[in-house]
């Protein structure tokens, strides 16, 4: 078991409880059978009906009627607002038949909370000669089956499978944790090969779980890719996920009607506020050369908001570029204002980029005497590089750095003779969770993916929040803290190690919303020699 054999496709088995599956499982099976280096050889079906949990639920219906009612409302309301419903039930047998996947039914014997497999069942599974078995059913088990696949049985776990996620929402203290692990006979010996912390929506259990299950699908496929391309040694050396787990810190019990009352009251108040008020982002700046300087706020009209500021000085004049989001259009443009640092007078905003798709986060960088901009263009599935042809007014596309990618808030720095590109990448999951790193010898690429990607898997610190800068000889990376709400605060992280093989950072400071009165969030922090600039958000009455 030293390395995955790249001369042959990886033979994959999947353990299911039924041939009727959630759509996230169907999509994962579809991706596996359409991946060149993977072969979905066998699907094992649990032949025993799993009625115990269902019966327990039915016996408690009267005591948890408020919880049951909330689940129905939550699903009916929020399922309309997601692009893809992870829990839509799909018959997967036609897909398996089309691609020649064997379907075998196994009848494990129930022993308490565990399943035990007979010698004949083990012989059948062993005879498939599988590289990896992905466990998506069969409850818990141990024994000889644990080592029956060449690279083990892979299983996901998180505190978002069901009622556990509700308790996280109710507490608003513990984030949603996801793990992918290779099973061992003792839980403490499971090998964790992925660990991530996701942002928490405080009102929708469906929304949280929908994001988590799509994320699980991506994680499993990513680690199969790593196994095939980087080998078994890479997988076994994944030691960046060894932190203590938050999973199982909450009870696996349904909330009683009495326990639901505070949650429902809080939800009702939150919904009422959302009907009456809306979030409104603004930009603020202060003069760094004045000792007692205070922040000056650039307010947007109520039909738009200003956010994601970046500051640059050119010919002794300071310009702030930012996202100008227009509510009626449902998208952002890129605009700028000029700031007179002597008088703190701000010019009228001027729009410089307006596309059919959303633009935000206008990251600025100078290269060979030219000024370039990389706005966020994830809705176009690109990372686009623009060059100023008549600064600050006119910009033209110079190059598309990456295509067919959902990437947000791209930030680049030159360090040790290379260019390092930081960006949050996502597919069906959440754009807040995972930070990717790429390097190149040139601003124009080609860009090489870092072997540890994603280098950060934590909504508390992944998403970029402004220019990376040097302070006291150390690289400092601003990041958003989105753990319990989008753009709550900015963390300043010291980059301790950055090279082609390794990456490590640690949080050293946090810029909280309390920097302004009545501020609810801050998610960008930048500065130059003259100005310190950030953004914030308040709640404004919708019917002014």
- Cβ distance 46 to 108 under 8 Å? yes
Tell me, yes or no, whether 281 and 368 share the same domain: yes
Tell me, yes or no, whether 422 and 479 share the same domain: yes
Tell me, yes or no, whether 298 and 235 share the same domain: no
What pLDDT does 243 receive? 58
Tell me, yes or no, whether 298 and 359 share the same domain: yes
- Cβ distance 41 to 104 under 8 Å? no
> pLDDT by residue for the chain (544 residues), tens digit each?
345 555 689 999 999 999 999 999 999 999 999 999 999 999 999 988 554 444 444 545 567 899 999 999 999 999 999 989 999 999 999 999 999 999 999 999 887 778 889 999 999 999 999 999 999 999 888 889 999 999 999 999 876 567 878 888 888 777 788 899 999 988 888 899 999 988 888 889 999 999 999 999 999 999 999 999 999 999 988 755 555 555 555 556 889 999 999 999 999 998 898 889 888 999 999 999 887 789 999 999 999 999 999 999 999 999 999 999 999 999 999 999 999 998 999 999 999 999 999 999 999 999 999 999 999 999 999 999 999 999 999 999 999 999 999 999 999 999 999 999 999 998 866 889 999 999 999 999 999 999 999 999 999 999 999 999 999 999 999 999 998 888 999 999 999 999 999 999 999 999 999 988 889 999 999 999 999 999 999 988 887 6
In a domain, 268, yes or no: no
Q: Terminal CA-to-CA distance of the chain, rounded, Å?
A: 67
**Range of the structural domain that residue 474 is part of:** 411-511
What pLDDT does 246 receive? 54
In a domain, 354, yes or no: yes
- Cβ distance 429 to 436 under 8 Å? no
Which tokens sit at 304? 């738009």
In a domain, 74, yes or no: no
Tell me, yes or no, whether 335 and 465 share the same domain: no
What pLDDT does 1 receive? 39
What pLDDT does 51 receive? 45
Tell me, yes or no, whether 538 and 450 share the same domain: no
Tell me, yes or no, whether 92 and 200 share the same domain: yes
pTM for this predicted structure: 0.90
The residue out of 252, 285, 303 marking a domain boundary is 252
Tell me, yes or no, whether 291 and 154 share the same domain: no
- Cβ distance 260 to 269 under 8 Å? no
In a domain, 340, yes or no: yes
What CA–CA distance (Å, rounded) separates 348 from 274? 30
How many helices (H) and strands (E) would you count in the chain?
A: 9, 34
In a domain, 90, yes or no: yes
In a domain, 94, yes or no: yes
Task: Give the DSSP H or E segment for 123.
Answer: helix 119-127
- CA 239 from chain centre, in angstroms, equals 20
Coil, helix or strand at residue 94: helix
Tell me, yes or no, whether 136 and 244 share the same domain: yes
Tell me, yes or no, whether 231 and 165 share the same domain: yes
Tell me, yes or no, whether 382 and 462 share the same domain: no
Which tokens sit at 504? 């490590």
Coil, helix or strand at residue 310: strand
Tell me, yes or no, whether 47 and 16 share the same domain: yes
In a domain, 75, yes or no: no
The residue out of 219, 252, 285 marking a domain boundary is 252
In a domain, 315, yes or no: yes
- CA 49 from chain centre, in angstroms, equals 35
Q: How many domains does the chain have?
A: 3
Coil, helix or strand at residue 113: coil
């Amino acid at each position: 078991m030293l390395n995955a054999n790249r001369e042959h496709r990886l033979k994959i088995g999947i353990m299911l409880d039924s041939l009727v599956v959630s759509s996230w499982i169907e999509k994962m099976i579809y991706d596996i059978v359409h991946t060149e280096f993977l072969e979905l050889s066998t699907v094992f079906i649990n032949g025993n009906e799993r009625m115990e949990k269902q019966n327990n639920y039915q016996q408690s219906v009267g005591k948890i009627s408020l919880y049951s009612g909330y689940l129905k409302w939550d699903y009916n309301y929020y399922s309309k607002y997601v692009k893809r419903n992870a829990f839509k039930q799909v018959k997967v047998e036609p897909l398996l038949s089309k691609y020649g996947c064997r379907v075998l039914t196994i009848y494990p014997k129930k022993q308490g909370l565990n399943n035990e497999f007979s010698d004949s069942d083990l012989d059948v599974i062993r005879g498939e000669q599988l590289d990896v078995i992905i466990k998506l059913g069969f409850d818990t088990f141990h024994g000889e089956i644990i080592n029956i696949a060449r690279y083990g049985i892979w299983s996901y776990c998180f505190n978002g499978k069901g009622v556990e996620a509700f308790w996280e929402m109710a507490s608003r203290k513990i984030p949603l944790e996801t793990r992918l692990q290779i099973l061992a006979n003792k839980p403490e010996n499971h090998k964790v090969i992925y660990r991530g912390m996701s942002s928490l929506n405080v009102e929708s259990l469906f929304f949280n779980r929908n994001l988590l299950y799509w994320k699980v699908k991506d994680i499993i496929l990513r680690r199969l890719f790593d196994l095939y391309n980087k080998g078994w040694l890479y997988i076994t050396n994944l030691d960046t996920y060894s932190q203590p787990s938050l999973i199982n810190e909450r009870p696996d019990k349904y909330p009683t009607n009495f326990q639901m009352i505070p949650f429902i009251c809080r939800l009702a108040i939150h919904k009422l506020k959302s009907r009456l008020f809306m979030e409104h982002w603004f930009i603020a700046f202060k003069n760094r050369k004045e000792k007692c300087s205070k922040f000056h706020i650039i307010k947007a009209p109520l039909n738009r908001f200003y956010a994601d500021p970046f500051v640059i000085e050119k010919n002794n004049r300071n310009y702030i570029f930012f996202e100008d989001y227009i509510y009626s259009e449902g998208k952002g443009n890129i605009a700028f204002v000029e700031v007179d640092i002597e008088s703190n007078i701000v010019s009228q905003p001027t729009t410089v980029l307006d596309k059919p798709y959303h633009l935000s986060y206008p990251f600025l960088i100078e290269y060979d005497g030219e000024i370039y901009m990389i706005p966020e263009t994830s809705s176009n599935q690109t990372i686009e590089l623009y060059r100023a042809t008549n600064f600050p007014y006119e910009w033209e596309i110079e190059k598309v750095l990456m295509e067919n990618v959902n990437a947000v808030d791209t930030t680049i720095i030159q360090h040790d003779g290379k260019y390092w590109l930081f960006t949050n990448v996502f597919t069906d999951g959440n754009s807040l969770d995972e930070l990717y790193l790429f390097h190149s010898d040139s601003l124009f690429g080609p860009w090489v993916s870092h072997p540890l990607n994603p280098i950060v898997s934590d909504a508390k610190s992944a998403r970029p929040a402004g220019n990376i800068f040097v302070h006291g000889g150390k690289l400092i990376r601003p990041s958003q803290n989105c753990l319990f709400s989008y753009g709550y605060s900015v963390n300043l992280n010291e980059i301790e190690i950055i090279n082609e093989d390794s990456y490590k950072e640690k949080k050293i400071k946090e810029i909280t919303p309390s920097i302004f009165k009545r501020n609810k969030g801050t998610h960008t922090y930048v500065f130059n020699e003259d100005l310190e600039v950030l953004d914030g958000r308040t709640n404004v009455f919708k019917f002014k």
